[in-house]
Structure 1
Amino acid sequence: MTLDTVKHAAETPDAPQPWAELGLKQDEYERVRTILGRRPTGAELAMYSVMWSEHCSYKSSKVHLRQFGEKAPANDVLLVGIGENAGVVDAGQGYAVTFKVESHNHPSYIEPYQGAATGIGGIVRDILAMGARPVAVMDPLRFGAADHPDTKRVLPGVVSGIGGYGNCLGLPNIGGEVVFDPCYQGNPLVNALCVGVMKHEDIHLAKASGAGNKVILYGARTGGDGIGGVSVLASETFDSTGPAKRPAVQVGDPFQEKLLIECTLEVFREHLVEGIQDLGGAGLSCATSELASAGSGGMRVELDTVPLRDATLSPEEILMSESQERMCAIVEPDKVDRFLEICEKWDVIATVIGEVTDGERLEIFWHGEQIVDVPPRTVAHEGPVYERPYARPEWQDALQADDAAKLPRPATGEELREQVLRLVASPNQASKSWITSQYDRFVQGNTVLAQPEDSGMVRIDEETNLGVAVATDGNGRYAKLDPYAGAQLALAESYRNVAATGARPLAISNCLNFGSPEDPAVMWQFAEATRGLADGCLALGTPVTGGNVSLYNQTGDTAIHPTPVVAVLGVIDDVNRRTPMAFAEQGQLLYLLGDTREELGGSAWSQVIHDHLGGLPPAVDLDREKLLGEILISGSRDGMIDAAHDLSDGGLIQAVVESCLRGGNGARIVVPDGLDPFVLLFSESAGRAVVAVPRSEELRFTDMCGARGLPATRIGVVDGESVEVQGQFDLPLAEVRDAYEATIPALFG
């Protein structure tokens, strides 16, 4: 076979090319030809196809994502924003914190263990590439119906992959979510988050500058696994026959990644790196084009010098491979020897594969023959931009009109009791400890809070006890009812969870999981959710630092619920002042903060008791969320609150049960005058939390709430060994615990 060189491509303009098989549309292929002034070589076609895929180029979402910059709140905490491997915020005391959440959805359906494991590996390298030491991971997960046979295939593999990879890296898994819904049956959502810490002066960016500087590929050898992996898998809809692309899933080696982390941190400490990029989606195609695009010149790469696991790989396959545990660094010539020494010390393969040039082209050679000659920005940053048509779906009005208020309610205290037990035993509300116990939550010794607390928290400075807290939240049922409000409710809940532990929310990352962008109804959901999130971040003063868009989460014509997952990061000056969720002492007074209204649309009660989805989600009041956050943070800092738990899925009764079980103490709840016991227990009104206040601090706490205008209603006391709602029912803790803890092990254990 004749090698498809640049010269050969220019001489054979009509040679057929497999652009459609590689995922390009005809107009996209024609645009590549226009950019190059000729047909692309096979290697160039491979690069454009993966880099212009939906997963890598955001071609359907860019026009909406711009709002995150256009509506960004004024702030002084953002050190690195959207566009880099991960955003960076100022945590104080000279520390910078970087965090990001991404998706590995499609690979995890096809090969659950490796899909989830390499999702963790990829997000960890994104954080590492910013110059930070990774300190914790989190995993927001969504699966199909809990009792569906395929969920029994997917969930154990995903959980094992996350635990197997993260535990081997020595990174604590401090939080996340597990949600079940039939809409995720063929499209589970495996989102992964990582947090990293560094000093301000240690921030690194992905750019290749300085003519003559060397391009060094280091880490694992390049293999045939993952060719067109996430870049292609995440850019199309599954058909109804299910998984059929197993070879495209990457294979992870956490021990190699651990060596890569320590090696990279050492070359950072010695200031040997001018620019750096991890190799994730689109592999070398991404790393070389993005580094060159963000730099001040061009780049020349000798592709045949790339260390391989499989000597039969073609140049196109080498460029498209998404083999894991690889990084690409730009190093000054006089520092190359020391860089290679450190790599050898850590048993990390490192090879000079090229150099930065003073031109404007990315040029790649194979055994002396030029196979790529492209303007790098056209590959990395100037891909297609689609303004997809979108329209409010015809069924939206009927869905919202199908109000949950009409559903039959419990008429007696005994019926209320029975429904409480059904709620806490339902897969979404039940304990997830069977899952989280497979993760190491306390390795490194700096974990302060972890699942099932409202947010995960880690200490980042052992002398001052400075810490960061992170929470992830998203409710696809709310977003299905109203995507604008649903996105804001996800933001509000995550913000509330961080504040409930005593940390001050600073910034967000997001993972926007939706169906096919070619469906106008899905694009309307996406447009509305993005607008809602941008408006919400502006109102709360929390800038978007970056994130991920995952589209084509759809099987045939059936899309997942729109699922914007929002991660909020906060800072706490002293982790010793954190607020846990446990009702730990008898006699503590229970206060309900915020207003409770009859809001049951999309609620856990409507799902568990009636298998119903309809109506409107809870109303959003972001000013109230901000005020609630200030009260929770002040109360924590000043010793007025012993415990706090946000109210969200399942309402007040779910929160009370969880805090009672966590602390091993019961609670007596008194229904306030004029409030229906059913509404008190099951409403999911936003902007609320339940707090345990020491008796000695009651007056100071209520005065603070009153002075700031936050409703604070005393609803009971921590007491006894049961959850009692006076005048309605009494539930022994032992009975509640059995219901709460038995469900997940019975399904998967």
Structure 2
Amino acid sequence: MSLSESDRELVVAELGRDPTPAEETLFENLWSEHCAYRSSRPLLSAFDSESEDVVIGPGDDAAVVALNDDTYITMGIESHNHPSYVDPYDGAATGVGGIVRDTLSMGAYPIALADSLYFGGFDREHSRYLLEGVVEGIADYGNSIGVPTVAGSTQFHPDYEGNPLVNVACVGLLSADRLVTANAQEPGNKLVLVGNGTGRDGLGGASFASEDLAEDAETEDRPAVQVGDPYTEKLLIEANEELVDDDLVESARDLGAAGLGGASSELVAKGGLGADIELDRVHQREPNMNALEILLAESQERMCYEVRPENVDAVADIAEKYDLGCSVIGDVTDGNYVCTFEGETVVDVSAEFIGDGAPMNDLPAEEPTQPETDLPKFDLGDAFEAVVGSPNCASKQWVYRQYDHEVQTRTATPPGDDSAMMAIRRAELGLAFTSGANPHWTTVSPYDGARAVALENATNLAVKGAEPLAAVDCLNGGNPEKPDVYGGFSGIVNGLADMCSELDVPVVGGNVSLYNDSPSGPIPPTPTLAMTGTTAEYDAPPAQFSGQGTLLLVGESSGALGGSEYLAQMGGSDRFPDLPENASEVVSALVSVATQDGTLAVHDVSDGGLAVTLAEMVSADAGASVSLPDSAESLFSELPGRAVVETTTPDAVEEAFEKIAPVTELGTADESGALEIEVGDETLRWSAEEIAELRDVLARELD
């Protein structure tokens, strides 16, 4: 990329001169779509980001939400999509590193990660290559730094073949008195760079993330991918703890997109200030680096701190203790953002103009239309096996077994459930955590599909007994300059915003990733949502049958099949199902039912519909006998906001949902270790072993 002519004219008018090469490249990166959100910012005002629990909303490195007066959590999410196509291992690993440092910059300790991954068809060799590299990168980095990966999702869709998505979310924990922001505080304070030496990796990463992937991206764009060092990141985590504990940090920003130039200019701009930076002072790991390389390299494991002059030596001592590099690179001022190199001024601009001066794009959008109904006719037994055994609905144990989810000893409900549960003992609360999206839903209907994604994530929390607290989003789309693509992207923004408002869940931060387009075409509009919720208990009802209770379906018994795995496997089309009009009441009732004494198990209905929900609840020790209407919709509709409840007190469940949603008795759980489904006059039966074999497709193909 290069600075467009229209942008260059704005810069020249502001500066009253031609920009220097370093300035021009700085503007190119900081005014890119990746950093400036030029196509998406006009849409983001749709989100409601306020509540009495929100301490810091969008705009900082991570959002901050209060659990109580003394205990806060941070929430952040980011994408590393293009890098993970070019170099799946390092691209995914540095995505983890980046979101963890966003957490550190708020004064928090990272306690949980969630990864939402999207690949092309699982039958494609290249998709499996990317999957293996991405999962290995996340596992190696997260395990090495001691932060558990506890939640997430893995989806396959043919339109990700040329451009996978890697969206990583992080939750951090801090006490109220440890809060740090990215707002520079006072002229005269020092800017101190702590962490790894600066190299030439990741040059132009922000601009690289703001253009479509080319056919030769895997070779030509490799220098734009950062290289991670998790062991240095672990040292940085512990050093950051000590720096914050000792009250040595006035403000902080991690070095991510656009490197030092991005972090330092944004830090002072947010405080309405400027900086004088001597680039020669930056500690480097490669010889003969020039000003532009030092300014814009996206080398990992680096933090920029604002420090009072009298505390600089103490910061340097802590950095030395943890064997980290440390450079005092300049001062906070009340003037321009100025960088010098070898005695020459290479940047002299307004920090505010760099950060906020990019003009927004006014792009045309085409309204998407839903498909006509054209339903296939298939044997239900064959359809059940195809759906339950599809890569999207199959067990993801192959993925999450590579992640250490027990480190830090907070994980009460591990990966593989509807949501993870973390024990926040200092607040005497359980914190539920979920993340994901369904591209089949948003392909059929971007708006309604995104509303369904929000409801699905809230349901994941509710069935564990957790009231939704807050969410962050990662909004992924193709080339916004194409009206149909931008129309779909607008749909997912508005759909997510509307349902989160209906649920009274503030969207407190997020990330936008556009230009996810390649020679194979654009990705589906993909609104990954990461959501947290709280409960008074650390323990949650299991998702598997106990074998002792009555089975109830709460919510509508069926709906349209649009966006379902059934149609993905069998062909055909349908409109997207109608979502409940009282979604907030449904979620609250589910929370109530999940915490009832008579509830033995509860599991939401989502990917694959009721067929997959029931299959996932069966074990070698417990099965079920179920009766359903004679229709594919009853078995395979993916209408969200529903759950299967095993209970000894069905009347209490019906009472909780009175005038809110229908409750249908499905049958009974038993100790057969098998699933028997009567559909009309047809009876289908599978043992737990047969179901496990169907659902083990990832491990079978990848091990």
Q: Which digits, 9 at most, give the CA deviation of each residue in 1:504-533, with x for residues without a partner?
A: 101110011110011111111111221222
Matched, 1:599 2:560: yes
Instruction: Provide the C-alpha distance between the structure 2 equivalents of 1:73 and 1:214, rounded to a whole number of angstroms.
Output: 33
Q: How does 1:351-500 map to 2 (within 5 A)?
A: 351-357=327-333, 359-392=334-367, 396-397=368-369, 400-404=370-374, 406-410=375-379, 416-461=380-425, 465-500=428-463
Instruction: Provide the C-alpha distance between the structure 1 equivalents of 2:305 and 2:581, rounded to a whole number of angstroms.
Output: 43
Secondary structure of the 1:92 match is: coil
Matched, 1:582 2:544: yes
Partner of 2:264: 288
CA RMSD of aligned residues (A): 1.6
Q: Which digits, 9 at most, give the CA deviation of each residue in 1:610-643, with x for residues without a partner?
A: 2x4x3321212252x3222212212233423222
Gap change, CA 1:548 and 1:426, over 3 Å in 2: same
Secondary structure of the 2:618 match is: helix
Give the aligned residue type for 1:747. E
Instruction: Provide the C-alpha distance between the structure 1 equivalents of 2:344 and 2:50, rounded to a whole number of angstroms.
Output: 51
Q: How does 1:29-68 map to 2 (within 5 A)?
A: 29-68=8-47
Q: Is the 8 A contact 1:473 1:491 kept in 2?
A: no
Q: Is the 8 A contact 2:611 2:636 kept in 1?
A: yes
Gap change, CA 1:599 and 1:664, over 3 Å in 2: farther
Give the aligned residue type for 1:660. V
Shift of 1:537: 1.8
Partner of 2:677: 725
Shift of 1:677: 4.6
Partner of 1:15: none
Give the aligned residue type for 1:586. G
Partner of 1:629: 587
Give the aligned residue type for 1:201. D
Q: Which digits, 9 at most, give the CA deviation of each residue in 1:408-429, with x for residues without a partner?
A: 143xxxxx22321221111111
Instruction: Provide the C-alpha distance between the structure 2 equivalents of 1:337 and 1:653, rounded to a whole number of angstroms.
Output: 63
Q: How does 1:568-579 map to 2 (within 5 A)?
A: 568-576=531-539, 578-579=540-541
Runs of 5+ consecutive residues of structure 1 not aligned to the other structure: 1-21, 411-415
Q: Is the 8 A contact 2:97 2:230 kept in 1?
A: yes
Instruction: Provide the C-alpha distance between the structure 1 equivalents of 2:332 and 2:138, rounded to a whole number of angstroms.
Output: 37
Instruction: Provide the C-alpha distance between the structure 2 equivalents of 1:391 and 1:275, rounded to a whole number of angstroms.
Output: 43
Instruction: Provide the C-alpha distance between the structure 1 equivalents of 2:633 and 2:271, rounded to a whole number of angstroms.
Output: 58
Runs of 5+ consecutive residues of structure 2 not aligned to the other structure: none
Instruction: Provide the C-alpha distance between the structure 1 equivalents of 2:337 and 2:675, rounded to a whole number of angstroms.
Output: 67
Matched, 1:531 2:494: yes
Give the aligned residue type for 2:252. I
Q: Is the 8 A contact 2:586 2:657 kept in 1?
A: no
Q: Is the 8 A contact 2:435 2:530 kept in 1?
A: yes
1:711 to 648, 653, 662: 662
Q: Is the 8 A contact 2:162 2:520 kept in 1?
A: no
Instruction: Provide the C-alpha distance between the structure 2 equivalents of 1:704 and 1:234, rounded to a whole number of angstroms.
Output: 48
Q: Is the 8 A contact 2:474 2:528 kept in 1?
A: yes
Secondary structure of the 2:262 match is: helix
Secondary structure of the 1:744 match is: helix
Q: Which digits, 9 at most, give the CA deviation of each residue in 1:98-127, with x for residues without a partner?
A: 111210000000000000000000000011
Secondary structure of the 2:408 match is: coil
Q: Which digits, 9 at most, give the CA deviation of each residue in 1:431-450, with x for residues without a partner?
A: 11111111111111110112
Instruction: Provide the C-alpha distance between the structure 1 equivalents of 2:389 and 2:49, rounded to a whole number of angstroms.
Output: 41
Give the aligned residue type for 2:624. A
Give the aligned residue type for 2:623. G
Secondary structure of the 1:55 match is: helix
Q: Which digits, 9 at most, give the CA deviation of each residue in 1:61-85, with x for residues without a partner?
A: 11111222xxx27621111001111
Gap change, CA 1:680 and 1:104, over 3 Å in 2: same
Gap change, CA 1:136 and 1:702, over 3 Å in 2: same
Instruction: Provide the C-alpha distance between the structure 1 equivalents of 2:507 and 2:637, rounded to a whole number of angstroms.
Output: 30
Gap change, CA 1:323 and 1:195, over 3 Å in 2: same
Partner of 2:97: 121
How many equivalent residue pairs? Answer: 698
Secondary structure of the 2:407 match is: coil
2:627 to 666, 670, 690: 670
Q: Is the 8 A contact 2:470 2:505 kept in 1?
A: yes
Q: Is the 8 A contact 2:199 2:299 kept in 1?
A: yes
Gap change, CA 1:239 and 1:297, over 3 Å in 2: closer
Shift of 1:557: 6.7
Q: Which digits, 9 at most, give the CA deviation of each residue in 1:13-42, with x for residues without a partner?
A: xxxxxxxxx432110111111111101111
Give the aligned residue type for 1:617. F
Give the aligned residue type for 2:451. Q
Q: Is the 8 A contact 2:254 2:263 kept in 1?
A: yes
| TM-score normalised by structure 1 residue count | 0.91
Give the aligned residue type for 1:744. L
Matched, 1:644 2:608: no
Secondary structure of the 1:728 match is: strand
- Work out the percentage of aligned pairs sharing the same amino acid: 39
Q: Is the 8 A contact 1:46 1:319 kept in 2?
A: no
1:737 to 667, 686, 692: 692
Instruction: Provide the C-alpha distance between the structure 2 equivalents of 1:528 and 1:428, rounded to a whole number of angstroms.
Output: 23
Partner of 2:639: 685
Instruction: Provide the C-alpha distance between the structure 2 equivalents of 1:366 and 1:242, rounded to a whole number of angstroms.
Output: 32
Give the aligned residue type for 2:580. D
